[in-house]
Structure 1
């Protein structure tokens, strides 16, 4: 029978994929397993499980339940590997937000009327405010959401940072409204980001997160130290719902990436806007690390190691055809065991052999790190990342100095146009400075690839260690 051979092929393909699963692989349960035999692991559909070891049985693994911490045996046929989240501009953290529509239009969309069916719209009568429209007892009730002191409120008793917070609260609590929010009426053309994050296994459980002290404050939100399921983590909190929506793209990019020199995404939580949970990097960013320790602590060998580790991370992105677009020492983090890892993929995009991004706001470009074609024509590619890497090399070997010292941004642009290139930092190995200048070739195609840079750095590190007895 044709279907039988197809089924056999499907099983063998699945088993082949499962054989490649290494310790640490994240899997999502495809169905409930609530009555486990002795030594088996219990789980529910959608639960996230971490592979620990391959057992002797075919397609059998020992795994840990990410929520309960329990360990046991699982079958590869009952789970699937956690998927990367596609970059999809239809994904929305607020699929229930319909923009500027009238009250009658909202009523027309909330059909058939069921208690708790809801949407949020912009207020036409009160610009800057919103309206929560909820179906209850066969009518639609319109609650004005007042924007006051940078917060939102319906009753002036309960305040929220954003609409995501508000909807989360009223989904669990009736509060000042007639009924809890039961089901969102999604705007046509949107998809629920929460649902996709859950399906692909990247949505984490809020009760398992413990937030600690604030360790940083960026343009888009605070960064906290925390713990998730017994693991130390860093948590970026994006409170603005508009910004949180924009950070979905960064999250989507990070779900595709697995490399020892890239900061690893653990998952996201939809609370207080958006929590992006990543591995914890104990020693902070590279520029502060270099400035605070200096030449008395950090040797040239250390600097070469950092340069090589960053290059290996960027070579991986190069292979994935991804452009970072914000490569700088401030976006390199150092782990407890002194490994440099590339972070902050907020500007990352697919390299379609020179992406033309004319809608980019030029005032937000990191001028001191951006290649001439990015500054002048808003064209970005892996080779423009190579230019930025050359500047990052200069930062590393100057122990964290600001590039183009004492120059204004206007002067930097003008001097680059005239062919100016920064001189070598003090005591920088000549071979490393030669790499910097190669990265700063005006023509992108003349710059080396990250693959070539990595080979040359490995050679330089080997030679330096040999010559200096390291």
Structure 2
């Protein structure tokens, strides 16, 4: 039964091929991702855009299913065949009934930190010790791997120097294969269709490359380390739920030599560098306000989904080809608000209650948004100029707040100040902030407020 009322922006997966479209219809193949653009006058038919070719045309709703978001599920694993610390005999009993190519990986009890690949072949189990050498893993000292995911991928395709290719993973109880879940929901992309271009940045966890995926320009975040990749799986899961014009869009993931997260490419880089390299002569205050509104709308959407960003700053806002600002890097985004990783907190952007008591909320995001407004209107200056982190912590706690940036409209500075109320409950939510910015926009250039004027008359 096809759901007959999809909103624009809904993503769908094609259930079969439609290779001979009539005039005006869209050509697609099974598994292609299509985005609904509009309804048509004919019931059950939609105007849609092909996510990879960019072409638009009519589709019949019965031929597609809605692309589902992934549930945040701690049992999703990139390595369901990894059983942790278990003994050899235990591994043998898990690989019963014997079946050629049935395998698991365990951590060695005798040599802690080393791994063992256990494979069933002709009724017995062979244990291959995986040696850790020069930051790489190897079984035979001829073939070297960055991580276990890599190694398993290689021996699933090549026998190499082991007795049989790996045919069937023995899943650890209580885990689900992330690969299977991603592919079922249409989020697993095909490495063959990706062409990697130049390195455009080093993230904390791996490089970011520019690339082309089926004729669309993309950014690819590569994460090689197994443990980190597993953590980023949660970020990716969160991103599958989010569709908004002011959030960087996830296209999907590729599992190959670790995890590759593929998003739309934002050609003009991050907001700090954008403002610093162009400056006042190029970017006027209407454009600054537009960026502020873009970010605010993206955050209002996150707020409506009860998600806290935790690391909102101009460096994590990216600019598209057509100068739209989009919030990125949901690396610290958590549905729950308790995490004790104080070392990583960006002090100058973090609200006092989050620094002291680790209380993160939409209201602590609002504080960070105030700092981000200051960054925007100072054309990308570092906040709290000439102050050390310790000074910032102490002085802000005592009530110190930054002065307005040069030439900043007083009304915008008063918005910053209300974002920096010491008590979280006194700060406005993003919805209120957006209404205020809309009004500012109206004043500066009547008729060019937010594209989404509130119909409630507020």
TM-score by length of 1: 0.89
Pair 1:50-2:21 in alignment? no
Equivalent position of 1:8 in the other structure: none
| Partner Cα separation in structure 2 for residue 411 and residue 162 of structure 1 | 42
8 Å Cα contact 1:43/1:65 also seen in 2: no
Once the two structures are superposed, residues 202-261 of structure 1 have per-residue CA deviations (whole angstroms, 9 ceiling, x without a partner) of 001110111000000010110000001110000000111100100011111111111111
Aligned CA distance change for structure 1 residues 163 and 259 (closer, same or farther; 3 Å): same
The change in CA–CA distance for 1:73 and 1:144 in structure 2 (over 3 A counts) is farther
Which residue number corresponds to residue 167 of structure 1? 152
Q: 1:213 to 1:430 in 2, by over 3 A?
A: same
Matched, 1:339 2:324: yes
Separation (CA, whole Å) in 2 of partners of 1:83 and 1:150:
38
- Segments of structure 2 that go 5 or more residues without pairing to the other structure are 447-458
Post-superposition offset of 1:127: 2.3
Question: Which residue, out of 71, 74, 84, partners 1:99?
Answer: 84
- Please report how far the alpha carbon of residue 200 of structure 1 lies from its aligned counterpart in structure 2 after TM superposition: 1.0
- Alpha-carbon separation, structure 2, partners of 1:272 and 1:132: 18
- Judged with a 3 Å threshold, the aligned counterparts in structure 2 of structure 1 residues 249 and 105 are, in CA distance, closer, same or farther, namely same
8 Å contact 2:13–2:66 — kept in the other structure?
A: yes
Moved over 3 A (4+): 33-44, 51-58, 60-75
Matched, 1:294 2:274: no
Determine the C-alpha separation between the residues in 2 that align with 1:34 and 1:338.
36
Cα distance between partner residues in 2 of 1:68 and 1:153: 41
> What CA deviation, in whole Å up to 9, does each residue of 1:372-412 have, x standing for no partner?
11101111110110000001011111111111122222111
Cα distance change of structure 1 residues 169 and 64 upon mapping to structure 2, 3 Å threshold: farther
CA contact (8 A) 2:53 2:216 kept: no
- Does residue 268 (structure 1) correspond to residue 248 (structure 2)? The answer is no
Partner secondary structure for residue 215 of structure 1: strand
**Deviation at residue 298 of structure 1 after TM alignment:** 1.3
Asked whether the equivalents of residues 12 and 36 of structure 2 are also in contact (C-alpha less than 8 Å), the reply is no
Name the SS of the counterpart of 2:90 in structure 1: helix
Give runs of aligned pairs for residues 68-79 of structure 1, distance below 5 A: 75-79=60-64
Q: CA deviation at 1:296?
A: 1.6
- Give the number of the structure whose residues are more often helix, by fraction: 1
Question: Structure 1 stretch 72-81 or stretch 157-166: which is displaced more?
Answer: 72-81
Going from structure 1 to structure 2, the CA distance change for 1:425 and 1:87 (only over 3 Å counts) comes to same
Superposed CA offset, 1:296-346 (max 9, x none): 211111111111110011011111111101000000000000110000011
Q: Distance in 2 between the 1:148 and 1:297 partners?
A: 53
1:187 and 1:67 mapped to 2: Cα distance? 36
Q: 1:384 aligns with which of 364, 370, 374?
A: 364
Per-residue CA distance 1:139-196 (angstroms, 9 max, x = gap):
1111111111111111111111111111111111111211111111111111111111
TM-score by length of 2: 0.91
Is the 8 Å Cα contact of residues 33 and 186 (structure 2) preserved in structure 1?
A: no
Whether 1:110 and 2:90 are equivalent positions in the alignment is no
Deviation at 1:48, TM superposition (A): 2.9
**2:217 counterpart of 1:221:** no
State whether structure 2 residue 194 is matched by structure 1 residue 209. yes
Q: Are the aligned partners of 1:249 and 1:346 in contact in 2 as well (CA < 8 Å)?
A: no
Match of 1:18 in 2: 4
Question: What's the offset of the Cα at 1:28?
Answer: 2.6
Which residue of structure 2 lines up, in the alignment, with residue 134 of structure 1?
119
CA offsets, 1:406-465, max 9 Å, x none?
A: 222211111111111111111111111100110000110000111111111111122123
Q: Does residue 187 of structure 1 match 2:172?
A: yes
Q: 1:89 aligns to what? A: 74
CA distance in 1, matches of 2:415, 2:376: 13
Tell me the distance in 2 between the aligned counterparts of 1:346 and 1:398: 26
Which of 396, 402, 407 is the equivalent residue of 1:427?
407
Secondary structure (helix, strand or coil) at the match of 1:145 reads strand
What CA distance in whole angstroms lies between the structure 2 residues aligned with 1:77 and 1:229? 25
Matches of 1:174 and 1:70, distance apart in 2: 43
Q: What is the aligned partner in structure 2 of residue 7 from structure 1?
A: none
Tell me the residue number matched to 1:415: 395
- Alpha-carbon distance in 1 for matches of 2:326, 2:362: 18
Matches of 2:138 and 2:75 in 1, distance apart? 28
**How many aligned residue pairs are there?**
443
Coordinate RMSD, CA, aligned? 2.4
SS at match of 1:212: strand
Distance 1:368 1:177, change over 3 A: same
Distance 1:62 1:416, change over 3 A: closer
User: Hey, what's the Cα distance between the residues in 2 that align with 1:426 and 1:71?
Assistant: 46
Report the counterpart of residue 395 of structure 1 in structure 2.
375
Q: Secondary structure at the match of 2:72?
A: coil
Q: Are 1:69 and 1:229, in contact at CA under 8 Å, matched by a contact in 2?
A: no
Match of 2:347 in 1: 367
Change over 3 Å in CA distance of 1:338–1:51 after alignment to 2: closer
1:458 aligns with 2:438: yes
The alpha carbon displacement at 1:37 in A equals 7.2
The 3 A distance-change label for structure 1 pair 356 and 256 is: closer
Give yes or no for contact 2:11–2:36 (8 Å, CA) kept in 1. no
Matched residue SS, 1:189? coil
Distance 1:416 1:37, change over 3 A: closer
Which residue does 2:161 correspond to in 1? Answer: 176
1:49–1:63 contact (8 Å) kept in structure 2: no
Residue 349 of structure 1: how far off its partner (Å): 2.0
Indicate the larger mover: 388-397 or 127-136. Answer: 127-136
